[in-house]
Amino acid sequence: MTTYQITTELTTNKKQKMTVDQLGFGQIFTDHMFVMDYTAGQGWHDARIIPYQPLSLDPSAMVFHYGQTVFEGLKAFVTAENEVLLFRPDRNFKRLNASNDRLCIPTIDEELALEALKQLVIVDREWIPNAPGTSLYIRPFIIATEPYLGVSPSKKYQFIIIMSPVGSYYKEGINPVKILVEQHYVRAVVGGTGEAKTGGNYASSLKGQELASKEGYSQTLWLDGKENRYVEEVGSMNIFFKINGKVITPALNGSILSGITRDSMIQVLKSKNIPVEERQIAFEEVLEAAKAGTLEEAFGTGTAAVISPIGEFKWQDEKIIVNNGEIGEVTQTLYETLTGIQNGTIEDAFGWTIKL
Ligand code: COI
């Protein structure tokens, strides 16, 4: 086993912790962060855990101008026995490297990243909340730091991990959310960066998101960028429909994020012998199913969102109410299975959790 050189400098000024009811999503950060630098010709170096602090970057740092950046999102949980569990962190670092490749960012050593993450979580262990529905959200990200205004891959980067104790991502919690099906704007196209977890995809989703929230909808459902017809994803989550007993989710096509919760839920469905299909699905098919009374459930999956039931879609001028605006049986089962595995109350038959 390789031993990695990671230095640790502990804070002398610990922050005050929040109470559970003060936890929203991603507004409070723990006492420490992990940082590692990259310099062309030298590779990644100076892996260190340091007190949480602002970054000092040159205003010409390339990330500010051309958006060369990638990120991940994963969670740590504390069990009733006071053990700490990470959920599928290896998959996050693998996906981070896939995003790196698309954005011309040098890949990281996934084992080093995992070791750094474990050490960071142990240092800030007391920040992991233990109330139901809470967790420690972990945000690894990489930014291009070379001070240069030419358009080319940066020669310098920082890989950083920050952590935030969180409650639920949506104010609705586990109650169904309302989603507006976007008709005009698109999030990504095949051949673009839709599959990569990079800031630009999220920046381009803001306009649609803003219009959706003005109409009282929590999120936007993105359709494909070419025909504006096929369901892609919600932006903060992948999407599933249950139609006539079968669960359907859009197949990964290069412009949809390959969600780790998406993959986990497909495996859970298969293990429970609930039919599940990954395929292209036009929103018209969802609409027809709703009219025929066979649209039984809809839900989103994501690290931040967990499993989020969808109670309503707005498509053009039509409102589609799903399952009377209530959480469906399969959605509830998936929510209980996922959160049970994550917080250690259900046996992890899939080997997804890593105990620290
Ligand atoms: C996550 O679920 O971790 C994400 O990265 C989505 C983010 C937009 C909150």
Atom of ligand 1 nearest to the CA of 74: 3
Nearest CA to ligand 1 atom 8: 236
> Which residue do the tokens 């909808």 mark?
217
Q: Mean of the per-residue pLDDT values for the chain?
A: 95
Q: Is residue 258 scored above 80 in pLDDT?
A: yes
What are the tens digits of pLDDT across the range 18-47?
Answer: 888 888 899 999 999 999 999 999 999 999
The total number of residues written for the chain in this structure: 356
Which pLDDT does position 174 carry in this prediction? 79
Q: Where are the chain's structural domains?
A: 7-167, 177-343
Residue 183, classed as helix, strand or coil, is coil
Which pLDDT does position 180 carry in this prediction? 97
> Which residue do the tokens 């920082």 mark?
158
Q: How far does the centroid of ligand 1 lie from the alpha carbon of residue 207, in Å?
A: 18
Which pLDDT does position 20 carry in this prediction? 82
What are the tens digits of pLDDT across the range 176-227?
Answer: 999 999 999 999 999 999 999 999 999 999 999 999 999 999 999 999 999 9
pTM as predicted: 0.95
Q: How far does the centroid of ligand 1 lie from the alpha carbon of residue 259, in Å?
A: 10
Q: Cα–Cα distances in Å, from 204 out to 121, 137, 215, 339?
A: 32, 23, 19, 31
Q: Is residue 172 scored above 80 in pLDDT?
A: no
Which pLDDT does position 347 carry in this prediction? 93
Query: Does residue 73 have its Cβ closer than 6 Å to ligand 1?
Result: yes
**273, 175, 26, 348 alpha-carbon torsion, rounded to 10°:** -30
What are the tens digits of pLDDT across the range 272-304?
Answer: 999 999 999 999 999 999 999 999 999 999 999
Query: Does residue 302 have its Cβ closer than 6 Å to ligand 1?
Result: yes
Atom of ligand 1 nearest to the CA of 235: 8
Tell me if 98 sits within 8 A of 196, measured CB to CB: yes
Fold exhibited by the domain 177-343? D-amino Acid Aminotransferase; Chain A, domain 2 (3.20.10)
Nearest to 262 by CA among 283, 245, 248, 275: 248
Q: Is residue 1 scored above 70 in pLDDT?
A: no
What is the percentage of the chain residues whose pLDDT exceeds 70? 99
Which pLDDT does position 116 carry in this prediction? 97
Q: Is residue 170 scored above 80 in pLDDT?
A: no
What are the tens digits of pLDDT across the range 37-96?
Answer: 999 999 999 999 999 999 999 999 999 999 999 999 999 999 999 999 999 999 999 999
CATH code for the part of the protein at 7-167? 3.30.470.10
